[in-house]
A and B are shown apart, each in its own frame.
Chain A
Amino acid sequence: MSGKLQEVRLRVYRYDPSNGGRPRYDIFSVPVKKDTTVLSALLYVKEKLDPTLSIRFSCRMATCGSCGMMINGLPRLACYTLVSQLKSKTITVQPLNNFPVVKDLVADFTDFFGKHRAMKPYLLRIDTYEQEKSNISYRQTDEELLKYIQFAYCIRCGLCYAACPVVATDKRFPGPQALSQLYRYYIDSRDEGGGERLEVVSDSHGVLRCHFAGSCSQVCPKGVDPALAIQLLRRELLFGRRTG
């Protein structure tokens, strides 16, 4: 850490469903510098003030997507959010919205990953044998790559899912992450899933339920635009596959 030491108040959500307790907020004073991240501040709490605090984290560089949480009311990655950028003396941290809580700031991603898996996030080929032969490669032009590459940057951190107003009310809605990944494979020139992929999201709780609030794209830490993917997917569902 570098720069002058200052102090901020961390207001941390505490809840342990296993002991039947009620949610509460604990307040900790934490010394921070200009480059202190919210994750570093929370780890300071865990190491020096309260070792019982539960947090999920891994890479500390916005690559693994483990440390997503609500920071001052917005879904953000704790490792990617500087305390100084929040411009607040009190920082409130809570588990991600729209996820069940495992403990404190740790959210349960079971449903989220289940919805992701339901989209078959891998290339579907009519001839599956050809996929298993190691000497086969699928060529792509730059244009074909550009159609899906931004959606391939998704790190499955769940921030878009936490920001989605439809997920908040409709538990069967796949959510922006799953839908953008469906589009990512649907539009991939190597994929032969076609209509089979669209069937998964064509029911009354599928892609047509998106309100286009656009909050998913606002909070994505990797610059993915799930709202765009959803609108393109909706177009595919209503008007058929676009080749241009």
Chain B
Amino acid sequence: MSREARIMMLHYITGLVIIVAGAIHLATVFLVSPYEESLRFDNTPWSVINVYRNSLLAGSLEALLLAVAFHGFNGLRVILLELHQGRTWTRAVNVAVTVAAIAVVINGTKTIFIASML
């Protein structure tokens, strides 16, 4: 399988992960927990902070973050490569979206990690 085919395969897989992890996230907020409680920042069972403390839910949020970062930035890469062609442009786009995706993942992971420690 070529490099581009592997990237696109991962693109489709992360699309599915977004649907599953996104559904878990939305179900947690709107169906499982009382909605009012899910917005609170205290020690009630379904408060924001307790969701982060639950390793399973925090893990699904991390999976959502990774999937969204890859899927979104790869989608942006595909659009940018279609709009303009050339070796320098391709390299610049690849570097820029990779750096941006890594920055988003680091920042998001930091948030999940810090929140779970509170």
Contact = CB atoms under 8 A, between A and B. Distances in A.
Interface of A: 166, 169-173, 198-199, 202-206, 208-209, 237-238
Interface string B66-98: 000000000000100111010000100000000
Contacts of B90: 204
Nearest to B78: A209
Given A170-B82, A204-B4, 9 more contacts: A166-B82, A169-B82, A169-B83, A170-B85, A171-B85, A173-B82, A202-B5, A209-B82, A237-B2
Interface of B: 1-2, 4-5, 8-9, 78, 81-83, 85, 90
B1 A238 contact: yes
A237 B22 CA distance: 29
6 contacts: A169-B82, A170-B81, A202-B2, A208-B8, A237-B1, A238-B9
B71 to A, nearest CB: 15
B82 A206 contact: no
Closest 4 CB pairs of A and B: A202-B2, A170-B82, A208-B8, A204-B4
Given A238-B8, A238-B9, A205 B85 contact: yes
Contacts of A206: 4
A209 B11 CA distance: 13
Contacts of B9: 238
Nearest to A171: B85
A233 B51 CA distance: 44
Contact of A199 (B2, B81, B85): B2
Contacts of B4: 202-204, 206, 208
Contacts of A169: 82-83
B59 to A, nearest CB: 28
Nearest to B5: A237
A33 B59 CA distance: 71
A198 B9 CA distance: 16
Contacts of B1: 237-238
A166 B95 CA distance: 23
